[in-house]
Amino acid sequence: MNDSLYIAATGMQTQQKSVDTIANNLANISTPGFKKGQLSFADLVYRESARAGVDGAAAPSLWHGAGVGVFSLAKVFTPGELRKTNAPLDIAIQGDGFLAVAMPDGTAAYSRGGALSVDRDGFLATADGHALKPSIHVGTDAKLISIKADGQVLVQGTDETELREAGRIELSHFTDSTGLVSLGANLYQPSARSGDAMYGKPGEDGVGTLAQGFIEASNVNLVNEMVDLMAAQRAYESSVKVIQASDEMLGMSNNLRK
């Protein structure tokens, strides 16, 4: 059996996954709050094979690798550029931290912010309708909503002359944010790798602050992604050439004549 065929096939498979990841990054280059994905590779199991000794002496064993596989696909949470929108319900997180939101099944998910909304019950929610945790009631008749850098939410209703405090937005952070599981729509859930969420006041306990009227842009760098794409393509081509060479060698073996 020619192991090079199988080893090269693992290289093609992993590079295809790398290209898929890059394609998803490029497709979301304009998606607010999007965090790029990054693949990590690891070599596969090694097999021991005997080597003939000299004059009957014992020879050290040889170890042959079985190729490459995907070790992890993690999100890179480097900050994106803050873009000013002046919309009162657009908020961006400057620094580390996530907004906690309530999912329909009662569990919590975490978001990097973005365009908020007021749901039909008057609570602050994401654009998809997931209410913030802890819940903040601003009412459906609010004519002015002010969100401070420390998370304080001030509201003025249509019949009110002064701002009143409606609540305070808290931020969550994790021991290893790269271990978060992406749910799509700028939402994440914790895993055993990320650890449980730790809550804190914006600007304290290692979390960032809030910026009202801003949206965090994607952290995808077009130039870097194109360079990675070319590298993945070349690596894929190299594995193809290994398979072609191995196939030609097998053909030569099959055509041997005594």
Tens digits of residue pLDDT in 168-191: 999 999 999 989 999 988 899 999
pLDDT interval class at 85 (50, 70, 90): very high
Percent of the chain with pLDDT over 90: 69
Whether 112 shows a pLDDT value over 60: the answer reads yes
Write out the two tokens for 33.
């709050």
Residue 196 clears pLDDT 80, i.e. is over it: yes
> What pLDDT is recorded for position 56?
54
Beta bridge partners of 79: none
Kindly state the average pLDDT of the residues 95-108. Answer: 93
In this prediction, residue 113 carries a pLDDT of 75
| Token code pair at residue 181 | 């599981």
**Per the structure block, which two tokens stand in for 92?**
């961006």
pLDDT computed for residue 66 by the predictor: 83
pLDDT band for position 258 (50/70/90)?
low
Q: What is the DSSP letter of 98?
A: B
Q: Are 159 and 145 in contact (CB under 8 A)?
A: no
Residue 210 has pLDDT above 60, yes or no: yes
Of the listed ranges 33-37, 52-56, 222-226, 249-253, the one predicted with least confidence: 52-56
CB proximity list for 48: less than 8 A, separation 6 or greater: 61, 62, 63
Query: Exposed, middle or buried by CB within 10 Å (0-12, 13-18, 19+), for 174?
Result: buried
Provide CB contacts within 8 A for 110, sequence distance 6+: 98, 99, 100, 101, 172, 180, 187, 188, 189, 190, 197
pLDDT of 109 strictly over 60: yes
The whole-number pLDDT of residue 50 equals 58
52 falls in which pLDDT band (50, 70, 90)? low
Q: What is the pTM of this model?
A: 0.84
Sheet harboring 132-133: ordered strands across? 132-133, 99-102, 108-111, 187-189, 181-184
For position 135, what pLDDT does the model report?
A: 93
